[in-house]
Amino acid sequence: MSDAKLQSVLSCLSQLGRQLDPLPSMTAPDANCIKLNTNENPFALPSPVMQSAVAALERQYLYPENDNIGLREAAAKAYDLSRDQVIAGNGSSELLGLIYRAFLAPGDTVAMMSPGFSFNRKLAALQDAKFLEIGCGELQSLPIEQLLFGPAKDAKFILLANPNNPTGTFVPIADIERLVAQSDRLIVVDEAYVDFAPDSALRLINRYSNLLLLRTFSKSYATAGIRVGFGLGHPEIIGRLRNIQNVFNMNVISHAVGVSIFSHRPAYEENHKHIRDERERVSATLTQLGFSVTPSQANFLLARVPAGRDGIWWQTSLERKKILVAVFPDKGLKDCIRVSIGTKAQMDAFFEAVNDILRAESSRASAVKPH
């Protein structure tokens, strides 16, 4: 029997709200699994950063700083920018949402290099905007002409990640500068994985008013559960984004940890070196095992699985062995898995599981082979 009151309430939803199905609750992951599916940094916070988090708990009864002033000042000093060029957010995903709200009206177009962060599709839908995906595959250069004069020429802004997720590929900063210099639209560059890469577009901020960089501490500074992100750009754009930001959008712990990280960045150098070194070891080992690995400048690897099975089959098989990896429905990626780089012990456990699966497949193939 239908609930008349509920149906009346639902009828008042926006068109998008009526189109979306209720989101079901997800199953909590097995705590015994090794998580190599969400690109988290597996290491503990350096001691002084952890101490800042514990000390912040003593101020839990206070609201955090309005407008994140102290955190923005710390970021500005670290990045050699002014405070007005920095916005701080509850992870860079919050800042992405602000950009969509600020720049898109119903019917507008936004363009993203694809494959990319799938959450952007939902953000565009929430604004009733058109979401245009420009295929880049595993290219390590930008299709600048296509972005400027092709289907994306009318986009209100262009979004690209460098290094890209889920491919891990990195395009030269000179390519980004050419795009920004020739365009009069906003170019949003997501540098979530930049600390594992050879270069950054940070030096372009003061040269081009139409460039907006996004940064996060989730990947390289081990704060995925604390949520600290930044947007860096022209004060006029940053100020307007801050004006539509939720009041007290961050908490006292994320403030304290963020400021402390800026004071102790050298403490992370060994962490970053481990991930880069382990990334090369994992890539070489997977290649030896019959996977085709895309060269990566991030803290993960996209690997095409051996012929005969697809990515979902490998994801399921690994999950049975308590190893979690990511798969993607995007065109050209159905035969791939994405593997986050963890500790050496975690990656050794991953190799053991892969070898067990390959041995089982070899035995199965031998058993069905006609004599």
Distances (CA, A) of 266 to 184, 227, 271, 272: 37, 21, 10, 10
Q: How far apart are CA 327 and CA 165, in angstroms?
A: 12
Q: Where, residue-wise, is CATH 3.90.1150.10 in the chain? A: 27-42+268-362
CATH of 27-42+268-362, one of 3.90.1150.10, 3.40.50.720, 3.20.20.70, 3.30.70.20: 3.90.1150.10
Q: What is the DSSP letter of 326?
A: B
Quote the crossing angle between the two packed helices 235-243 and 92-103, to the nearest 10°. Answer: 90
Bridge pairing between strands 130-135 and 109-114: parallel
| Best CA proximity match to 46, nearest among 253, 261, 203, 210 | 261
Q: What is the pLDDT along the chain (371 residues), one digit of tens a residue?
A: 468 877 888 888 887 777 778 878 777 777 889 999 999 999 999 999 999 999 999 999 999 999 999 999 999 999 999 999 999 999 999 999 999 999 999 999 999 988 888 889 999 999 999 999 988 765 667 888 888 888 888 999 999 999 999 999 999 999 999 999 999 999 999 999 999 999 999 999 999 999 999 999 999 999 999 999 999 999 999 999 999 999 999 999 999 999 999 999 999 999 999 999 999 999 999 999 999 999 999 999 999 999 999 999 999 999 999 999 999 988 889 999 999 999 999 999 999 999 999 998 888 777 766 65
Is residue 156 within 8 A of residue 147, CB to CB? The reply is no
- CATH for the stretch 47-263: 3.40.640.10
Please tell me the predicted confidence (pLDDT) of residue 331.
82
Q: If you count DSSP H runs as helices and E runs as strands, how many of each does the chain have, helices first? A: 13, 12
Q: Where, residue-wise, is CATH 3.40.640.10 in the chain? A: 47-263
> In the numeric block, which tokens belong to residue 122?
């939902």
Is residue 170 within 8 A of residue 297, CB to CB? The reply is yes
The residues facing 158 across adjacent strands are 111, 187
Which residue's entry shows tokens 């304290």?
Answer: 256
